[in-house]
Amino acid sequence: MKLSALAFAVPLALAAVSGPAGAEDLLQVYREAQRSDPALAAARANWTATQERVPQARSGLLPNVGATGTANASDGRTEVRSDPRTVTGNSSGNAGFTISAAQPLYRQQNVIALDQARRTVEQADYTLAVSQQDLIIRVTVAYFDVLLAEVNVELAEAQKRAVSEQLAQARRNFEVGVATITDTNEAQARYDSIVAQEIAARNDVDNRRTALRAIIGRMPGALRRLGPAFEPTLPQPNVLEHWLDRAVADNLAVRIAGYNLDVATLEIDRARAGHLPTVDLVASLGQNWGSGSLANDFRFDSRTAQIGVALNVPIYQGGFVDSRVRETIALQENARQNLEVARRAAQSNAQVGFAGVNSAAASVKAFEQALRSAETALASNRLGQEVGVRTNLDVLNVTQQLFQTRRDLAQAYFNYLISVLRLKASVGSLTEQDLEDINRRLGG
């Protein structure tokens, strides 16, 4: 099914033309959002920071080397008040340094921490992907919100022109005595109402463009509109259970929650490892030297080197380890329930997206037919007015219905495209390619 040219006739300029020359398309706006959106920038920074979890955790299994040094000097004077009086002076100085190293041989807690870090790094890829999918949807919604707001302005302008013509005609008919003042007053009231609607519509355009500016960091220029040829397609396969199963298996939020459960499970093992001994290979090298004087001058120089194995066996830590184990078990259950929440939310989103695509596709078809009927009704009412069987108010009402149907068709258009993106996001398959497919549907 293709939308007819009738559905996109003037004054519905949204789809009849692609917009002014040099208008920005959806993909261009998205590329700029990738560079400027602070939410995505924050997600990228968080991803970069998370990559450091593995080297940090691995450091607990690698050698730890340190050096210390000391230097001291003293100067003393002793006076013995006797006969004869005795005064003794002494001074000394010493310095030294020690280099020590420890290589963990058995630290089960650190091994588990490395496994947790690896899972956290893997999880970060999905977390960043969620932000990227969210940006695709936010940009698309904001882009189409601007277009739909512009449609409302154009419709208000067209309604105002039509009602203005009807108002002028009603005044002429009243002047020549073929119509009552009531027709003129009704047309005037309708005209005044549409002027107010036009003001509100223009304000809404400003608001929608401001919302898009919050994403791309600048006020957008003219945006390219949807082209006249468009064929909504239903989900493939068009079976709800297929999409529900995919949502449970592939939804990104479900995958993230699954990693949280893995990390929480490993945290139990890490807490229990607090009962286990640790074994380290330790070594040290030190040197000290000094000099001084008392009764006689002296000087010394010493060097020491040691290597060995250090065993640390925890016996009792005030119940801390057992308490920590109980805490981690409870946190594991929390992560398990959050995973179930994510699964149910994914299924709900998939069902909403599936229904949205089918509903919007049906709405496009229905409003296309409604638009043809509305234009036929308008032509009939105008003819009826000419022969005296329809009033000016009848024509105004049918005209209003025609314009509203055009607006509803544009809304169904946008609802379909956004529902497609949301359905794909619910099963974790939304990519830039989907945005490119929509962008190709924009007028060239």
Domain boundaries in the chain? 5-64+107-276+318-439
Q: At residue 86, does pLDDT exceed 70?
A: no
SS3 92: strand
Q: How many CA atoms lie within 13 A of 297 on its CB side?
A: 2
- The better pLDDT of the pair 262, 382 is held by 262
Higher pLDDT, 313 or 410: 313
The span from the CA of 326 to the CA of 338, in Å, is 19
> How many Å apart are CA 299 and CA 290, to the nearest integer?
6
Query: What gap in Å lies between CA 309 and CA 278, rounded to an integer?
Result: 10
**Mean pLDDT value of segment 237-248:** 96
Q: Which of 165-179, 239-253, 279-293 has the lowest mean pLDDT?
A: 165-179
Q: How far separated are the first and last CA of the chain, in Å rounded?
A: 21
- Give the model's pLDDT for residue 20: 58
| Region of poorest pLDDT, from 86-90, 185-189, 304-308 | 86-90
Q: Which is higher by pLDDT, 88 or 426?
A: 426
Task: Give the percent of the chain with pLDDT over 90.
Answer: 61
Show Cβ contacts of residue 431 under 8 Å, excluding neighbours closer than 6 positions.
none
Question: What is the predicted pLDDT for the residue at 418?
Answer: 94
- Provide mean pLDDT across the span 280-304: 83
Give per-residue pLDDT as tens, 136-182.
Answer: 999 999 999 999 999 899 888 888 887 787 788 778 877 787 677 88
User: Residue 347 above 70 pLDDT?
Assistant: yes
Q: Does residue 2 register a pLDDT over 90?
A: no
User: For residues 362 and 95, what is the distance between their CA atoms, to the nearest angstrom?
Assistant: 88
**Percentage of the residues of the chain whose pLDDT score is greater than 70:** 89
pLDDT above 50 (res 15): no
pLDDT at 440: 85
The whole-model pTM stands at 0.83
pLDDT of residue 13: 37
What are 101's two structure tokens? 């190293």
Find where tokens 């258009």 sit: 413
Q: Classify domain 5-64+107-276+318-439 at the CATH superfamily level.
A: Outer membrane efflux proteins (OEP) (1.20.1600.10)
In tens, the pLDDT along 388-438 reads: 788 666 777 788 788 888 889 889 989 999 999 999 999 999 999 999 988
Quote the pLDDT of residue 82: 67
Burial of 366 from C-beta contacts in 10 A (0-12 / 13-18 / 19+): middle
Q: What is the mean pLDDT of residues 27-39?
A: 94
**How high does pLDDT run on average in the chain?**
87
At residue 87, the pLDDT reads 57
For residue 267, report the phi and psi dihedrals to the nearest 5 degrees: -65, -30
Residue 184 has pLDDT above 90, yes or no: no
Could you read off the pLDDT of 117-133 as tens digits, one per residue? 999 999 999 999 999 99
Q: Is the pLDDT reported for residue 18 higher than 60?
A: no
